[in-house]
A and B are shown apart, each in its own frame.
Chain A
Amino acid sequence: MNLWNSFYTGLREILSHKFRSVLTMMGIILGVASLLTTFALVEGLAKKSREMLNSLGGVETIRVFKKEPPREQVHIADLSPGITIADAEALREHATLITAVAPVYEQSATLEHGEADYRYTIRGVWPEHVIVQNHKITAGRAICQLDLDEAAKVCVIGSRIVQELWPKDPNVQPVGQTILVNSRPFTVIGVLEHYESEDAKRARKEGRPVPPSRYGSRFDPYSRKNSTFLIPFTTMFFEFKSAGGIGSSGSSSPIPSFSSSKSNSSTKDDPGPNYRLDELAFHITDPQKMAEAQAEAHKILLASHRGIEDFEFENRVEWSEGIEKQNTQIKLVGGIIASIALIVGGLGITNIMLASITERIREIGVRRAVGAKGTHIFVQIIIEGTVLAVIGGLAGLVAAFGLLEIIEQATSGDSQGIVNTQAALASFIFAVVIGVVSGIYPAWQASRIPPIEALRYG
C-alpha cells in the first residue's frame, strides 16, 4: 500500500465528512494562527527596536561615560583631567580599531529667526559626528574640518528646528539662511533628514495620522534626534565656552574645569582646550571586534587619565542583545501559550478520530478481511490525521494573516506583525507534528481491533 494511496484515501474520508473535518481542523487552524501571529507580532516589535537602535548610531557606536574611580584610586582621583578633548584626540591619533571619534560640547542657547525664538541645546562637534550618530544630510553639507579650523559660524540643523524656526513655511529651504544663536549670526549649511520610525513613515505616506510615539514626545529618540543643532566644535569653544562663558547665560552645562586644563597643559605638548566634554562617543570598524576595540580605547584613555580609571564604556551590543533576548523570551512565552492552543486542537483531532473510528469499525473489518495488516490501518489513520493537520495548518497560516490584519486595524497600525518564513514553517511543521501525534492513539486503537470483531460490529 503506497503513501499516495493512503493520502488519497485520507483525503476522500475527510471530504466525505466536510463539516466534521472543518470542526476537527478548527483547533489546528486557530492554534497555528495564534502561534504565527505571536511570532509575527514579536518580530514586528523587534524590528522597531532594531530600527531605533540603528537610528541612534547602531551597534558600532561606543560611548564613554564618567564613573567613580575604584576605591584604591579615590585619593588620587583629582590627578585625572576627566573626559576631555584630549581623550578624543588621543583616540583619533592612536586607536586602530576606531573609525570615527565624536566629542561633544553642549550648551543651551536661544535660537532666533524672524519672529520665532526658541531655547535649544546646541552641540559643538567634530566632522566625524555625523558618522558616529548616523546622521544623514538631506540638504547642504555637513560640518567639515575647515569649519573647525576657521571656527566658522555655521550650523547643521534637524527637521524639528526647521519646523520651529520657520513655522509658517513648511517647504522652506533653510540652507544659506542666517539665524541668531544667542544673538550671534550663524549660517545654516546643512539640514538633517527627518528621522522617524518605519510606522510613522508609512502612516505619513498613506496620509494617515502619525501614531503617537511609544515613548511620549519628550523621550522619543526620533524627536530628540530631529532637534539636533550642530556647530563646529571650535566655534562652540570660542563663542560660548571660553572667556568666562560669554553668552552662557542659563547654561545647564557643567562649568569648565580650569584646574584640570592647567594641569594638563603643563604636561602635554599641545595645551589645547581641555574642558570636560559633555559627551564622547566613537565608532568602531567592526562590531565583531567590539571587545578588542574597547580594550584598545581603554588603554589609550587610561594613559590620558594618568592611570585613573574614572571612565567606562557603554556599547549597544548589550542593548541589542537585550532586545534579542527579550524577543526570544516573549516568543517563548507566547509560543508556549499558542502551542497549548495547538495541543488542545490536537486533542480535538484525537477525540473526533476516536469517534469516527467507532463509526468506521465495519470499514476497518472489511479492509482487514481483504488483507490489510494492523499496520496498514495504523498508517491510514495517521495519514488521515496528518492530512487534516496539513490542511488545517495551511488554513491557519492564511488565518494568521487575517488575524494580523485585524490586529493592525484595531491598534491603528501600532502593532504590526512581520511574518518570516522561518516562523511560518515552524508553526506549520508543529501543526503537522501535532496532527501525526494526535492520530497515534486512535490509529493504535483501530489497528488493534481483531478483524473478526471489526466485521461483526454493528
Chain B
Amino acid sequence: MALIELTDVTKRYTVGAQEIRALDGINLKIDRGEYCAIIGPSGSGKSTLMHLLGCLDTPTTGRVVIDGVDVSRASDGRLAEMRNEKIGFVFQAFNLLPKFTVLDNVELPMIYSGKSAKERRARAIAAVERVGLSERMKNTPLQLSGGQMQRVAIARALVNDPKIIFADEPTGNLDSKTGATILALFRELSEQGRTIVLVTHDNEIAANAPRRIVIRDGRIVQNADNWHSGLRAAPSPQEAHT
C-alpha cells in the first residue's frame, strides 16, 4: 500500500458567488522513500495540494490516506497528531517564531509530542547540528540569513523523525546558490530513506527529483511515475513538461 494515496480529491473555495476549483479530481499515489517534485504555474493548486497532504487542511470531496490513516475526515486532534508525528512541513516563508531561539524553534514540535525537556534539548541540538547550524543555536531567527532560517525550519521538520517531509517552495525566498544547498540537504534526507515531496516553480529543481508531478488548473497533467523505477525509461524533463 502506498504511503500517500489521494482518490478523486477536490478542493473548492467559494468567494462570493464565484466558485474556485483549486483542486479538481486529483488521483495520486506516493510510495515510501520516494522523492517527488510538484511543479506547475502560479495558481495551479500546488500549495492547496500540499496543505491537504500535510494535514493542514481537508479536501472538499475525495479521500486522502496517509500512512493508512484517512485524514480527509479526521478530527482536528487527529490531524494535529499526524502533523506532529508523521509529517515535517517546510514553508517558503520559513514560519519560525521570531522571539524564540533557534533551539527553541526546533524544540517546538516535541513540546506537543510530550517529550521530556532533556530529550527535547538533546534531539533539538542533534537536528540543528544535522543542518549545520551548531554555531547559531542561541540566536533568534531575525539574526539569521534566509538560508539559515530555512535550515532551522528543516531541522524543526526533522526533529520528530517524521516519515514524510513536505516542502512548499523551500527555495522560493532564497538565491539560487543558497537554494542549491537546501536542495542538497533534501537529497541527502531522501537518500537516508525519507519520503520527500517538494513544490517548485523551477524546472531545473524539478528535474533534480526522481519523480515529477505537473499540475495545472487543479489537475495533474503529467505524472512521471516511472522515473524512479527505471531512469532510462523516463522521459527527459523538457519532454514531460510540454
Residues of A within 8 A of B (CB): 1-2, 5, 12, 16, 362-363, 365-376, 450-452, 455
Contact = CB atoms under 8 A, between A and B. Distances in A.
8 contacts: A1-B114, A367-B108, A369-B91, A371-B81, A371-B109, A373-B112, A375-B77, A451-B79
B57 A372 contact: no
B138 to A, nearest CB: 15
B185 interface: no
B112 to A, nearest CB: 4
A374 B83 CA distance: 13
B56 A452 contact: yes
A357 to B, nearest CB: 15
A370 B57 contact: no
A1 B112 contact: yes
A98 B114 CA distance: 70
Interface residues of B, number: 27
Nearest to A363: B97
The 7 closest A-B pairs by CB, nearest first: A371-B84, A370-B109, A373-B80, A371-B112, A452-B57, A373-B77, A452-B56
A261 B76 CA distance: 96
A368 B80 contact: yes
Contacts of B112: 1, 367, 370-373, 376
Contacts of B51: 452
B97 A366 contact: yes
B80 A372 contact: yes
Contact of B114 (A2, A365, A367): A2
B56 A366 contact: no
A160 B76 CA distance: 82
A370 B108 contact: yes
B78 to A, nearest CB: 9
Most chain A beta-carbon neighbours within 10 Å: one of B81, B96, B108 = B108
Interface of B: 51, 54, 56-57, 76-77, 79-81, 83-85, 89, 91, 95-97, 99, 108-109, 111-114, 117, 156, 160
Contacts of A450: 57
B67 to A, nearest CB: 15
A16 B98 CA distance: 12
Contacts of A376: 80, 112
B116 to A, nearest CB: 9
B83 A370 contact: yes
B29 to A, nearest CB: 24
Contacts of A363: 97
Contacts of B83: 368-371, 451
B85 A451 contact: no
Contacts of A452: 51, 56-57
A366 B96 contact: yes
Contact of A1 (B89, B91, B111): B111
Given A370-B156, A371-B81, A373-B76, 20 more contacts: A1-B112, A1-B114, A5-B117, A12-B99, A363-B97, A366-B108, A367-B108, A367-B112, A368-B83, A369-B89, A369-B95, A370-B83, A370-B89, A370-B109, A371-B80, A371-B85, A372-B80, A374-B77, A374-B80, A376-B112
Contact of A371 (B91, B95, B99, B113): B113
A12 B76 CA distance: 27
Contacts of B111: 1, 5
A42 B172 CA distance: 68
A71 B99 CA distance: 87
A12 B95 CA distance: 19
A397 B104 CA distance: 35
Nearest to B84: A371
Contacts of A370: 83-84, 89, 108-109, 112, 156
B92 to A, nearest CB: 11
A384 to B, nearest CB: 14
Nearest to B79: A451
